[in-house]
Structure 1
Amino acid sequence: MAESSCSKADIRQVHQLRQKIRHAQEPDNPGLIYQWIQADNALAGYQTEQRRQHCIHQFQLLMDVVSDDYLPVHWRNTCLDSVSIPLCTLKCLADDTQSVTRVRQLFSELRTLSHYFQHSLSCYDQHYS
């Protein structure tokens, strides 16, 4: 992390936003996700590898939320809709075989999980309709 160019307040803000997203503390505030991604990207700096790592962590956090059955369904769906943001950034940063392969793996993980998530939502809707 490029901590030398960022203040502790910036780092703390990103951490707080991350916690709010992970624990659905503001499930009716989808703008929170974009605010967090922008602030986290600012922490990443300009080095490609650091930016990649931040995008992977963003992807993983959003996928953790999507997979968490204890969180509100609409929040999980919002995170699923937003997971393409770090993935697309990561795709733009892919400049070698290893990074291209990693992006493909993450897209595959997203396809698998989104299929499961859509199926579980349809079961949820059928059960509570």
Structure 2
Amino acid sequence: MHKYPQNRQNLLSPKRSLDIIETRIRGGIEHNNPPLVNIYLLQIADLAAAKTASSARFVIASRAFQLLYDTIADESVEVHWRVLCLDKINLPLQLMKKSCHGTRLQQQYRHLQYKLTLLYIKSYFLLNNPD
């Protein structure tokens, strides 16, 4: 028996495109379905692996990063869902790092790391100084 039987059955069906999964993740629509993020990230990794150009792999990974980043930053999304996305954001970062061939991609990668660091610091500050 699956841990999340009510949501598990249709996750891998062809009708659930990446756009649908991204919408569900971004809005926290299935916030009680943590495997959804894992399935999405596996699909992103497979899609990136199928590309031969490093810039194409970088774009795919940065799309996933931006989705998770936006979800983490959105205070209207359930906290536990945002924390899950924060836990999983390293996969797209790793994919981007592997695809950083060239100065422009390296600069974009460092910029996204910087944005994530600022978000983390802001979140930490807000949690520890509620005034």
State TM-score, norm by structure 2: 0.78
1:25 maps to what in 2?
Answer: 29
Match of residue 117 from structure 2 = 111
Q: Show the 5 A alignment for 1:1-129.
A: 9=14, 12-44=16-48, 45-47=50-52, 48-123=54-129
Question: Is 49-58 or 31-40 further displaced after alignment?
Answer: 31-40
Q: CA deviation at 1:31?
A: 1.9
C-alpha distance in 2 between matches for 1:49 and 1:22 = 24
Gap regions ≥5 residues in structure 2:
1-13
Percent identical pairs in the alignment equals 28
Q: Give the gaps of 5 or more residues in structure 1.
A: 1-8
Distance (whole Å) between structure 1 residues aligned to residue 127 and residue 31 of structure 2: 17
Residue correspondences, number? 116
Q: CA RMSD in A?
A: 1.9
Bigger mean CA deviation after superposition, 57-66 or 26-35: 26-35
Q: Which aligned segments of 4 or more residues in structure 1 are displaced greater than 6 angstroms?
A: none
The structure carrying a bigger helix percent of its residues is 1
Q: Give the TM-score taking structure 1 as reference length.
A: 0.79
